[in-house]
Structure 1
């Protein structure tokens, strides 16, 4: 049996259909809202990340531009010092072993002197620890730079950088010898470097970036020497070493590494500060660690909020559905109750007016139908009374029997003929009781033939009165039919 075959009240059926529509609309709306909100959240997180990385790069570029101006302030002094060193070199006939480097250092204000040969090795220096340092091994790109300037002439200032071994801030400058056999290098150290160069602090930029980006968990800034800016004792992890080597020597582009297990994203941002006018590579390699778990938590919280909103909407939607369905079904329930009252036999029950044009028209039509039915019944009752009065006054006996042969009606002449009363009929009588036993079989056959729709002629029987006396009688049988042609008796 299907759902619509069951006798479900229209109110509940309407309520179910409307609530089903509400569920579909609410779930669709909530899902679309969640998808849009989650997309916006991810997009905002990505936009915030892009802004953070752009802010760090632009800020560091600006800081480096300021430092570059600061570093050029010492170029004039170093260029004058080179004139003294070059004169000493030329005075020895181009033999640096004959140069008194310590005396030169004193003469030029304490600047360290280095003599680099054609193999990029520091052959002579006022810094004993640097003698024999092979740039072709430790800084191949710097060795290439030295080869490029070796066959030229002029003054090549460099930036203030940290010494590769001591980490002391030092400004270097270079000048090829006139015979192009060596490159002279000067290193200037100043007690003011540390203090003056700390003014544009990288840590301030990092703190500001972390302040406006809650997803940014950690920022580590590395220089080309793999030193961590702001922490001289920090030792990079093997993973950091491998990534820095890859960025430095294989692919100098920003790299991204996702750790799904820890819900972290590590972005290695390459802030390329190389300048073809300088040998030093001032680039910074920023390791930005983003907390993806925070975004996942926000998405989960967003899902919970949407689920709660959906349940709340469904609850209030259910209340609205109940009220609306009751309001819509009230006219139908009223009509059904009125029609049921009429159907139970109370034709005088009025069909009450209802709201709504269609329902009101239906109520009026039903009332018209009931009024016409009452009129038809009244006419039928008049005709039936007229017929019954006619039958009652017939001089011949007339009776009706059902399909079992039980007498259901008899006129006055029949009662007088057989001597029975209305009370006897109401107690129950069969037509065979009014016939002699020897006629029962023939009477049954005739009665069955009539029930089957066959036509019969009048038959003679011996009638039996109530007092037991018999008398001859002729009985005419005809089938009694209802409106649809069904035979219900004789």
Structure 2
């Protein structure tokens, strides 16, 4: 039987020390590395999220501004259809007999004319390249123009680029009276050169690169898959497939490219508006480089590995030297080392007899100091990361402040525009009044139409101003005499048109905008009634509230529309329908006052006998009014 070779005790002890200390160092180093790595990755993700949030918010603001610009051309195109329809009637409603080229010259040569038949095919046009174009190849657009042809109302589209020529155009549509054809106007004018959508996109991309240093390229794609702002750019097949997928799914996606150390994010910004034929949605491609993050992670790993190796080498030396001189109470030393291994780095090895243990004590204490130094350096790294995070927050705050300034500047422009339009409307109204006085009765009808158009323009501006006050001004609620408000608004109209059946003082909780509720409801009711129709206002007392009803003898509100008439930009089905803001303002103010509003029939179960809008307001008792005074 072969005897097992015995080894000295100090070798076993040295092996134990080395294994134990290496394990502790490995655990501490691994935990420190994982925490630092996760923090780096988290900060990088946070920066990407803030970058993408900023671009989506900015692009939404850009589209809102462009939409206002596009809508400013609607009236010009609406007027263009007058001659279009007159030529259609002159030709006996036969498009082949219409002189489209002369009509284009009469319209100033800025608009191309198109005639689309019931099958969605362009039969005639002054833009010959599109004659024969079949819109059935774009199903959603064919359904849209079919609804326009059958509806019988004017509709304007957004300013878009043509797919074939990439020219900037604004289109508008008007069905023929017999609903056989849909007339289309395509505006190409120098005015559209100022609509710098591509430039806005490019500038946004450059600003984003300053916000995020890891962002290398930013590209924008429209709903046709074309890149915006770079006509010469040719998409590779892989990129084209990714863009088409984002457009088809109307959702973003993320793709990793480890070989090139890049990460590509696709964001889908849904800007589709049911009121327009064109979909202005955008796919945004953000390409990030992962090289800086990978370099930081590599540097962190190498530093942690170096520290760990040095600590291991030092521990081997100390363990070797200490094991040779140990001859005393080993258990006490093991207890001290165990306590240190559990994180109590301030603990020191107890003094024992013998020079061997004294040296072991000094060696282990020195090792603890090295570990504490490593931890200190790790904390310094964490502090550097926190400093980086603070700078990131500063950058985000700066961009937020810039967005706030941009919003205030937009409001200033809106105020200036509203002021100038109101001044222009006032001058125009003065001239129309003079014309009404000087022209013969037979020629006053056209002037009256102009006057009504100016009044509608002023009403729209007033509604926009009211909505801004509701959402931006902090107007405190106060006690208001409801009877006085109603009587003042009724006094603006003839008694034969508007009647008020209550003449009793009642106090409600409201503010200075309460007259806007009655102004909009009375104006809306008069707009839909015949000349001999009447509007009646009733006020009924309840326990803690009053019920106010504004009833008219007009055509009424169909049941399917009663729930939606108070929505913003919701128009009625009649020719007199406005921009859909009046009832939206009514609902906003009533809900602000703590009440509710709803549409009803003047005669229960008989919508055709007239409409009624009813709402509640909170009452203020006399004793409460006394305390407030």
TM-score interval, smaller chain? 0.5 to 0.7
Deviation at 1:313, TM superposition (A): 3.6
Cα distance in structure 1, aligned partners of 2:229 and 2:204: 13
TM-score between both structures, scaled by the size of structure 2: 0.48
Change (3 A) 1:318 1:212: farther
Cα distance in structure 1, aligned partners of 2:319 and 2:352: 21
| Residues 1:80 and 2:62 are matched in the alignment | no
Corresponding residue SS for 1:253: coil
The Cα offsets for residues 14-62 of structure 1, whole Å up to 9 and x where unpaired, read as 5554443322111101111112222222222322222222222221111
| Aligned with residue 272 of structure 1, among 252, 270, 273 | 270
Map of 2:280 onto structure 1: 282
The Cα offsets for residues 376-420 of structure 1, whole Å up to 9 and x where unpaired, read as xxxxxxxxxxxxxxxxxxxxxxxxxxxxxxxxxxxxxxxxxxxxx
The Cα offsets for residues 111-136 of structure 1, whole Å up to 9 and x where unpaired, read as 11111111221111111112111222
Corresponding residue SS for 2:228: coil
- Larger CA Rg, structure 1 vs 2: 1
Cα distance in structure 2, aligned partners of 1:199 and 1:270: 17
Deviation at 1:140, TM superposition (A): 2.9
| Aligned with residue 252 of structure 2, among 251, 254, 271 | 254
Map of 2:98 onto structure 1: 99
Give ranges in structure 2 of 5+ residues lacking alignment: 331-348, 355-629
Change (3 A) 1:332 1:46: closer
Give ranges in structure 1 of 5+ residues lacking alignment: 334-354, 361-490
Deviation at 1:358, TM superposition (A): 7.3
Cα distance in structure 2, aligned partners of 1:119 and 1:318: 89
Cα distance in structure 2, aligned partners of 1:356 and 1:2: 36
Change (3 A) 1:8 1:69: same
Corresponding residue SS for 2:184: strand
Map of 2:8 onto structure 1: 7
Corresponding residue SS for 1:151: helix
Corresponding residue SS for 1:58: helix
Change (3 A) 1:356 1:260: closer
Structure 1 contact 221–286 (Cα < 8 Å) conserved = yes
| Residues 1:25 and 2:24 are matched in the alignment | yes
Map of 2:126 onto structure 1: 126
Structure 1 contact 226–236 (Cα < 8 Å) conserved = no
Paired residues in the alignment total: 333
Structure 2 contact 199–229 (Cα < 8 Å) conserved = no
| Residues 1:154 and 2:149 are matched in the alignment | no
Cα distance in structure 2, aligned partners of 1:2 and 1:114: 104
1:21-420 matches, within 5 Å, as 21-109=20-108, 110-137=110-137, 139-197=138-196, 201-248=200-247, 250-315=248-313, 329=326, 359=353
Cα distance in structure 2, aligned partners of 1:290 and 1:73: 39
Cα distance in structure 1, aligned partners of 2:350 and 2:208: 66
Corresponding residue SS for 1:164: coil
Structure 2 contact 173–184 (Cα < 8 Å) conserved = yes
TM-score between both structures, scaled by the size of structure 1: 0.61
The Cα offsets for residues 113-167 of structure 1, whole Å up to 9 and x where unpaired, read as 1111112211111111121112222x33211211222210211111111122211
Structure 2 contact 251–268 (Cα < 8 Å) conserved = yes
Cα distance in structure 2, aligned partners of 1:19 and 1:207: 56
Map of 1:375 onto structure 2: none
Q: Which moved more, 1:143-152 or 1:65-74?
A: 143-152
Cα distance in structure 1, aligned partners of 2:25 and 2:74: 73
The Cα offsets for residues 147-204 of structure 1, whole Å up to 9 and x where unpaired, read as 2222102111111111222111111111111211111111112223233425961122
Change (3 A) 1:244 1:13: closer
Deviation at 1:278, TM superposition (A): 0.6
Cα distance in structure 1, aligned partners of 2:251 and 2:157: 24
Cα distance in structure 1, aligned partners of 2:295 and 2:242: 29
RMSD over aligned Cα atoms: 3.1
The Cα offsets for residues 313-367 of structure 1, whole Å up to 9 and x where unpaired, read as 44555677689879x949789xxxxxxxxxxxxxxxxxxxxx978759xxxxxxx
Corresponding residue SS for 1:308: helix
Cα distance in structure 2, aligned partners of 1:167 and 1:292: 36
Cα distance in structure 2, aligned partners of 1:356 and 1:275: 79
Cα distance in structure 2, aligned partners of 1:108 and 1:131: 20
Structure 1 contact 227–234 (Cα < 8 Å) conserved = no
Cα distance in structure 2, aligned partners of 1:103 and 1:288: 49
Map of 2:480 onto structure 1: none
